Structure 1
Amino acid sequence: MSAGIPARPEPYVMREATEKDRLPIEVMLRKRSAWATARNLPASATVPFVLEMIGRTTPDGARLMVLTEDAHLLGCVVVTRRAPVTDGWSGPEMAEPALYLTAACTRHDTPDPRGRLSSLMTLWTRDHAARLGLPQLRCSVRAPQVADLLVASGWKKLREGENAVLTPVSLLWLTAQSQPGLHRFIADADTAAPEDGLHNADHLVP
């Protein structure tokens, strides 16, 4: 998946969200939700849940990660070892070890014809899961169009199901895998130099 991503002198950064990220994250999520709604697609993340996760690590290790470039927000995702009970996973499935991705979102107004941002976050989470000793990534997707794009990029469909509010979902998985050359594209959250907060969110607002 990394073949189409050119190396950059200054890598992207994938790191844990901080309080300084709150405004840019909220703006991105609300604009993405409006964009999806205008196209009859389900919103990719719930704003209150994601904002509540800023700066937090739950007892099961869930935390909100952000992808940035030159201190500008490009995307976010919550990673957790415990399957969200609302996402449609069965009891036996939730008992299996995996890294679950939820509330994933990328900026819709950034030119990204080949899904570069989603690919970068997938590469990082595959590597992160492997370093944690977990065999799989998993996610629950409501929009069939998004599920089809993920399957086309390498994700596998476990099954179709329903989430807690009986909305149809596609339950997807991907094998965790170490990415030895990943540091050429993404500075790891644990080794990246701290950024002086994200730039002002004005550039995200119409």
Structure 2
Amino acid sequence: MRTLRTNVEREDAVALVQDRQRRLTVRGLPAPAQADTPALFRAPQTKPAGLFEDGKLLACMIPERDPDLEWGEGPCLFLGRVHTLPDQTDDILRLITLWASDFAARLDLPLVRTETLARHTLDAEPIAALLRRLTDMGWDVRGSGPGREGDRVARLELAAEHRSGLSALIGCRVHEPQTSQDERGSA
């Protein structure tokens, strides 16, 4: 896992996001309605991260520290706009889960939070199947409601936990995320 630093890496993330959104749309699954997510991965002020294996981008996201959320109390590492390479989602999500939990612990943050689109009730498919897989990986579902971009989302939390030996499985060269206040101050 590393911060996307070059234009080529950012364009790879844009292509992954566009491919994922296209596949979701073709399959009739929810895709973000309002945000221009590809543009966010290109924007120089964002610090996206990517999960790579043998030089291939498997997932991308925008990690933030203590973002302004309408839900959840206390400090956290927030994983925004998580997109994974299609057809390998469970393995990729498992790696992201392990990494995020450890990374948050190393930042002295107690929790990781994220959101996933949920246009219907949380017990309706296909979101119910995804949430079952995520809870099996250690995530807790904290209800649903409007997300940061206004879409209806499922809200997820994961306890931070130091995971000794994780570096043998997944390396970490991710910048320390900015807080929402840092980003507003520099804008």
TM-score band w.r.t. shorter chain: 0.7 to 0.9
Pairing 1:125-204 to 2, within 5 Å after superposition: 125-143=100-118, 144-145=127-128, 146-163=130-147, 166-189=150-173
- Between the aligned partners of 2:107 and 2:148, the Cα distance in structure 1 is 28
**2:41 corresponds to which of 20, 32, 50:** 50
Asked whether the equivalents of residues 11 and 42 of structure 2 are also in contact (C-alpha less than 8 Å), the reply is no
CA deviations over 1:163-190 (Å, ceiling 9, x no partner): 3665321111010001101111112216
1:34 aligns with 2:25: no
Q: What per-residue deviation string (whole Å, max 9, x for no partner) do you get for residues 77-136 of structure 1?
A: 111113255xxx24xx3x611111111111115xx27x1111111111111100010000
Taking only the aligned residue pairs, the percentage that are identical comes to 30
SS at match of 1:20: helix
- Which 5+ residue runs of structure 1 have no aligned equivalent? 1-13, 58-62, 191-206
Q: Which residue of 1 aligns with 2:86?
A: 108
In structure 2, C-alpha distance between the alignment counterparts of 1:156 and 1:164, rounded to whole Å: 19
Q: Is the 8 A contact 1:50 1:103 kept in 2?
A: no
Question: Is residue 118 from structure 1 mapped to residue 102 from structure 2 by the alignment?
Answer: no
Q: What does residue 79 of structure 1 align with?
A: 63
How far residue 148 of structure 1 moved from its aligned partner, in angstroms, is 3.6
**Count of paired positions:** 161
Q: TM-score, normalised by structure 1?
A: 0.70
Q: When the two structures are superposed, what TM-score results if normalisation uses the length of structure 2?
A: 0.76
Q: Which runs of 5+ in 2 are unaligned?
A: 119-126, 175-187
